[in-house]
Amino acid sequence: MDLMAVTLHVNGSANRVEAESDIPLLWVLRDQLGLTGTKYSCGIGVCGSCMVLLDGMPAKACRITAAECAGKKITTIEGLAEQADHPLLKSWLELQVPQCGYCQSGQIIMAYALLSEKHDPSADEIDQAMSQILCRCGTYPRIRQAIQQASEMMRAKEPS
Amino acid sequence: MKPFNPERRDFLKKSALSAGSALVLGITWSGEIVAEADATPEFKPNAWLKIDTHGLVTLYIAESEMGQGPFTSLSMLIAEELEVDWQKVQVEHAPLDPAYGFQGTGGSRSVRRNWKTLRQAGAVARQMLLAAGAEYLKAPVDSCQAQRSRITHRPSSKSVSYAELVGRAAEMPVPKGVTLKQPEDFKLIGTPITRLDLADKLNGKARYGIDTKLPNMVYATIAQSPVFGGRVKSFNDTEIKQRPGIIDCFALEEGVVVVAQGTWQAFQARKALKIDWQGGKTGQLNSDNIIQRLSDETAQKPTLILERGEPIAQLASALKSVDTEYRLPFQAHMTPEPMNCTVGVEDGRYRIWAPTQSPTSAMTTAVKTLKALMPELSEAELEARIEIVTPLLGGGFGRRIKQDYVTQAVKIAHHLKRPVQLIWPREEDVQHDHYHPLTQHRLRGSLDEAGNPQAWHHLITGLQSGKYGADALAYDIPHVRVELLRLDSPVPIGPWRSVSNHYNAYAIEHFFDELARAGGKNPLELRLKLLKEARLKAVLQRAAEATAWHQQDQQRILGCAVHSSFGSHVAEIVELIRLDEQKLKLGKITCVIDCGVAINPDTVKAQLEGSVIYALGAALKPPIMLKNGRVEQHNFHDTPILSFKETPPIEVIISRSRLDPGGVGEPGVPPLAPALANALLSAHGKPVTRMPMNLNGAS
């Protein structure tokens, strides 16, 4: 298959890569750009470990091609983590959410997308969003707490 | 291998990280090896720690960090005695070195086997710093104290930092017979502390095995025989090699390997493989017939595990008895990071990044593999050419005690003579796990006139099944026989979180409720009456209080179970809420543990939450099924694990204790499934003889 030139805007910088037309974004991020914070675990869009933000919306990097992402703004965990004082990351650290940590990039990206859309998600909305990311260590109770705590911190900052 | 003696100046034997300073081996994130001459002195009194002239304390942890927290809990043991400022502590996986003894993480042993050693390692270093500090301050040692990385002369309050004492401390004699703190004097141990591995797990910087990148590295993947033990007869290598990005395609004993410029190209080529397999050991076997077939084929007889009284005679003449059979399925580990291993090859030397639970076994495996390929070299010569590096592990749960991915990666690197990363796609991981075994439990019990259990007979039959968890029945029952028929397995079997305790505790604890009900007894009260271990009784009592056990009704149904394993004692109570006549949903799960001293209580809590979720997934979700000798499942869609919204509220209660610590990674697993089954038995009046369980009764 012929390679095509694609420019990917990742975490604020433009990267020109040569890629197959059907290669998933996941493998370009990991193998070509060295952004290994985005994880491979299932490759079929079920586990959510490879979640990234595409123009601010959550997207599974194993299910979209790099070509489809041309011209879009891609944020990986490495980019998101630059906002180290974001309430979500602070809560995540304070509640010591990760265990092995492998799925946590996906968890954090998903929670970030959820809270960006809605600062005060309902329990049901948290369920719907976060059930897309699997965690084998069982950090779910702490993820729930961290999202609730971050939500409270974000709302406390909002002008009333 | 001799264990580490912290009272000797026991430096690393092999690694360039050895004595004093001289050479520091650094590994950059890209995997390049950077050897830098380091002129600044360090204080490195033993294999476990070093302090540099900036006061930075580096601890080397010889247990694999896979989320269960040894980087932090073991560091706390050293830091407690070292009297060091926690903010200045950093942690790394220890290199493979005889100084650490056997390096293998499993059996919830990390804290237990390091409990004294690591505190001694810290205490020895502290004593040397104290001696150096006293000399520096020109004061008697016994008027000085160590605290927060400083030595202070108490009368004058003059002090000096560890950083300033590095050179001097290294010259001090190693003290003999250090005294360790009493539990009441602990400052760090027992306090919830921020884990040392967390920051990098939030920003994408944490490096797992799969994240290893070497210069000029290529990517390999493998297709193994769907029928266990099958061999490659032929495959379409010519076609595969013509695909873009494909570097090589060849067969190993284990299967067909594809090597490519990138992981994805390798995975795509693997999907395009057309392999003709031959042979195999399991072609006729299914989950439903495997126990029967293997029992028929073998002349194996059960082994007597435990016997007291006259159980068989008692059962024959019993007034009232219960006879039941449970069958529990194969389970997969589903570690989030699939099996992988990276090998750097240069001038006949092999550097192996193995996300393994046992670097020692990885070395043994690599030596054995290379020995077969280069018989002219001795094992010692081969070992000298190999270095094992342990990155972070994306989950373990027992799977990574096995080293099959190391064997394969070493063979592939030897074939290619260039750096290579082997990654199994998830499908390979699901179909070639070392599974939690399928087991069958025949249980017979009888009751006396008063309805108390009188005789108990448990026959465990399973594939490489084990006795642990059934070899010391926790209850005071007069007539007991426990037998084990451990069948040789053509399906790969391996340790899975809590190992045999999982199925044996299920059989014992669920059958106990069957017997209690047959005798008209409250199962919790009967447990409190018959349990021999006071600590186990105490956690059950505590769980009963926390859940208001005696306030059950048709709307709120509870089931309890207890189990002692890995040196800890756990009681769990599962609550079911009745939605309507047909439907039940999970309520809260309560878990009480007595693990002796809880080193980092927050990690204990996290491990128990994780254990409950892990065990709940195994109880409720479709398991691994064998059909025509092959595993029917492929990936997370057909081997699901518990999801966020399926996870009920979990309360963990840690008993306060000053007794030596027990394990925490696994003991929370065994009581969960029987506690749930006991709640279902209470709700539906029928025992749960098969997994997965169905909350609404059709199991």
Instruction: Give tens-digit pLDDT for A63-112.
Output: 999 999 999 999 999 999 999 899 999 999 999 999 999 999 999 999 99
Residue numbers of A between 46 and 75 with CB closer than 8 Å to B: 46-47, 49
**Which among A94, A140, A144, A148 is the top mutation candidate for probing chain B, defined by the most B β-carbons within 10 Å of its own β-carbon?**
A140
Residues A94, A143 share a domain: yes
Residues A151, A128 share a domain: yes
Residues A150, A106 share a domain: yes
So what's the pLDDT on residue B103?
97
Nearest to B641 among A134, A143, A144 (CB): A134
Asked if B335's CB is within 8 angstroms of A136's CB, the reply is yes
**Which among B205, B497, B644 is the top mutation candidate for probing chain A, defined by the most A β-carbons within 10 Å of its own β-carbon?**
B644
So what's the pLDDT on residue B32?
42
Number of domains in chain A: 2
The CA distance from A157 to the nearest CA of chain B, in Å, is 23
Residues A61, A12 share a domain: yes
DSSP three-state, residue B358: coil
SS (H, E, C) B440-468: EEEEEEEECCCCCEEEEEEEEEEECCCCC
Is-contact B452 B284, C-beta < 8 A? no
So what's the pLDDT on residue B299?
78
Residues A71, A118 share a domain: no
Rounded (5°) CA angle B429-B432-B341: 55
- Looking at residue B14, what DSSP letter applies? S
So what's the pLDDT on residue B86?
94
A156 touches chain B (CB under 8 A): no
Residue of B nearest to A47 (CA): B636
So what's the pLDDT on residue B42?
94
A98 touches chain B (CB under 8 A): yes
| Residues lower than pLDDT 50 in chain B | 1-4, 10-11, 13-37, 699
Residues A57, A91 share a domain: no
CATH code of A35's domain? 3.10.20.30
For residues B419-448, one letter each, b for 16 or more C-beta atoms within 10 angstroms of the residue's C-beta and e for the rest, the string is bbbbbbbbbbbbbbbbbbbbbbbbbbbbbe
DSSP letter string over B275-332? EEEE--S-TT--TTTHHHHHHHH----PEEEEEES-HHHHHHT-SEEEEEEEEE-BB-
The per-residue pLDDT of chain A, averaged, comes to 96
Residues A65, A15 share a domain: yes
pTM of the model: 0.95
**Residue that is last in its domain, among A31, A58, A80:** A80
So what's the pLDDT on residue B698?
52
Tokens at residue B369, please? Answer: 């593999």
**Which among A21, A102, A107 is the top mutation candidate for probing chain B, defined by the most B β-carbons within 10 Å of its own β-carbon?**
A102
Domain extent, residue A150, equals 83-157
The CA distance from B425 to the nearest CA of chain A, in Å, is 8
For residues B47-72, one letter each, b for 16 or more C-beta atoms within 10 angstroms of the residue's C-beta and e for the rest, the string is bbbbbbbebebbbbbbbbbbbbbbbb
Residues A27, A7 share a domain: yes
Is the pLDDT assigned to residue A159 strictly greater than 80? no
**Complex confidence, ipTM:** 0.98
What is the spatial distance between Cα B98 and Cα B115, in angstroms, rounded to a whole number? 19
What is the spatial distance between Cα B695 and Cα B134, in angstroms, rounded to a whole number? 67
Residues A13, A73 share a domain: yes
Helix and strand counts by DSSP (H, E) for chain B: 16, 29
Residues A87, A61 share a domain: no
Residues A153, A94 share a domain: yes
Tokens at residue A89, please? Answer: 């990351």
Residues A145, A88 share a domain: yes
For residues A19-30, one letter each, b for 16 or more C-beta atoms within 10 angstroms of the residue's C-beta and e for the rest, the string is bbeebbbbbbbb
**Residue that is last in its domain, among A80, A96, A113:** A80
The CA distance from B171 to the nearest CA of chain A, in Å, is 39
Nearest to A100 among B66, B194, B211 (CB): B66
B369 touches chain A (CB under 8 A): no
The CA distance from A5 to the nearest CA of chain B, in Å, is 16
